[in-house]
Amino acid sequence: MFRKCEQIISDISYNEGAFLFISLFRKIIARKMTENSNQPELEQII
């Protein structure tokens, strides 16, 4: 039972890390979008 809780906790922390990475990646894309706004197809992805 304790090992299963450990597995759940590690999965949650991994998912949070992936979510933070994705949000950071989207911020970088949005920043590049504002620098050169001649790419409207990328804006739809965000």
Q: pLDDT tens-digit profile of 13-45? A: 777 888 888 888 888 888 887 776 655 565 555
Q: Model's pTM, two decimal places?
A: 0.44
**Rounded Cα–Cα distance for residues 13 and 2 (Å):** 17
pLDDT for 41 equals 60
For the chain, what are the domain ranges?
A: 22-46
**Rounded Cα–Cα distance for residues 21 and 31 (Å):** 15
pLDDT for 28 equals 85
pLDDT for 14 equals 76
In the block, tokens 């970088």 appear at 28
SS3 labels along 1-46: CHHHHHHHHHHHHHHHHHHHHHHHHHHHHHHHHHHCCCCHHHHHHC
pLDDT for 11 equals 79
